[in-house]
Amino acid sequence: MTNNRRPLISGNWKMNLNHFEALKMVQELSYEVTRDDVDALDISIHPPFTDLRTVQTTLDSDKIPFFLGAQHCHSEKSGAFTGEVSPAMLAKLGVRYVIAGHSERREIFGESDELINAKVRAILAHDMTPILCVGETLEERQAGEAEAKVQAQLKAGLARVKAEQVAELVIAYEPIWAIGTGQTASAEDAQTMCAVVRSVVADKSGSDAAEAVRVQYGGSVKPTNAAELMSQPDIDGALVGGASLEASSFARIVQYRLHDL
């Protein structure tokens, strides 16, 4: 069955590439990505904060049709929060997508579901699109708790978000054991969990929101597995870490449609 959801392939650079390297990367990517690619799908890149202005001016001046993304933000507009960056600042830079609740933020920086929910609402309030990340650990998967974990993260993450806003969201299912490990979830397991995500959205926000929400898979997405993952009915995109740090591999993921299954 086909749907009207436009695929979104996102490159999360994490704490890699300074602003000179970012400039080079964006230019290389713009040579590799074709008009057909951008007609077929949305592409977002999520550099570190120190690169955002450089990437923004490059995208604007060279008319490169990638969406600017951020990896993180604070939930407040401004204030005494040393070291933090506000959603208002990101919106001013033309940022369109902001990752919220990445497992590295949850695990290394102790971000709670409540905090992530506040960020999701703040990102929406500034007319940007959150990419809300959810996913289970290996222990949770082995204990048969993957679905329950993702359900709980979604319920908390989407609290007090209106159905019409949920419809506009991106949710990334990222099993923690697959992130940066080279171990990808099988396309079948990824599909099962992305379908769970959609059914939680249906319960919470209704079938229109569930039909519209875009669900990405993340966790060791590579040029060699992107086509199979993207062929699954409930997978609408990919959140790519390691493989987005090389222009040619990210471009080949963007071009998954051209690969044989």
The residues that are catalytic are 102, 174
Name which of residues 155 to 174 contact ligand PGA (CB under 6 A): 174
- State which of residues 11, 47, 101, 241 lies at the interface with ligand PGA (CB under 6 A): 241
- State which of residues 115, 226, 239, 254 lies at the interface with ligand PGA (CB under 6 A): 239
Nearer Cβ to ligand PGA, position 51 or 104? 104
Nearer Cβ to ligand PGA, position 157 or 242? 242
Q: Which stretch binds ligand PGA (CB under 6 A): 48-56, 158-166, 201-209, 238-246?
A: 238-246
* Side chain identity at residue 231, one-letter code: S
45 lines the binding site for ligand PGA (CB under 6 A)? no
**At its nearest, how many Å lie between ligand PGA and the CB of residue 16?**
10
The owner of tokens 């993207």 is 230
Contacts of 20 (CB under 8 A, 6+ apart): none
Task: Name 132's bridge partners.
Answer: 100, 171
Q: What's the chain's length in residues?
A: 261
* Side chain identity at residue 82, one-letter code: T
Residues 44, 49, 52: CA angle, nearest 5 degrees: 55
Q: Which stretch binds ligand PGA (CB under 6 A): 1-9, 61-69, 146-154, 240-248?
A: 240-248
**At its nearest, how many Å lie between ligand PGA and the CB of residue 234?**
18
Distances (CA, A) of 36 to 121, 148, 158, 225: 34, 39, 34, 21
Tokens standing for residue 13: 């650079």
Site string for ligand PGA, 104-123 (x = CB under 6 A): --------------------
Name which of residues 176 to 235 contact ligand PGA (CB under 6 A): 179-180, 218-221
Q: Which residue is nearest to ligand PGA (CB)?
A: 241
**At its nearest, how many Å lie between ligand PGA and the CB of residue 77?**
27
Nearer Cβ to ligand PGA, position 173 or 205? 173
- State which of residues 52, 149, 242, 254 lies at the interface with ligand PGA (CB under 6 A): 242
**Local structure of residue 252 (DSSP, 8 states):** H
* Side chain identity at residue 179, one-letter code: I
Task: Name 44's bridge partners.
Answer: 10, 67
Task: Name 250's bridge partners.
Answer: none
- The whole-angstrom separation of Cα 38 and Cα 35 is 5
Nearer Cβ to ligand PGA, position 175 or 209? 175
Nearer Cβ to ligand PGA, position 51 or 205? 51
Contacts to ligand PGA by CB under 6 A: 12, 174, 179-180, 218-221, 239-243
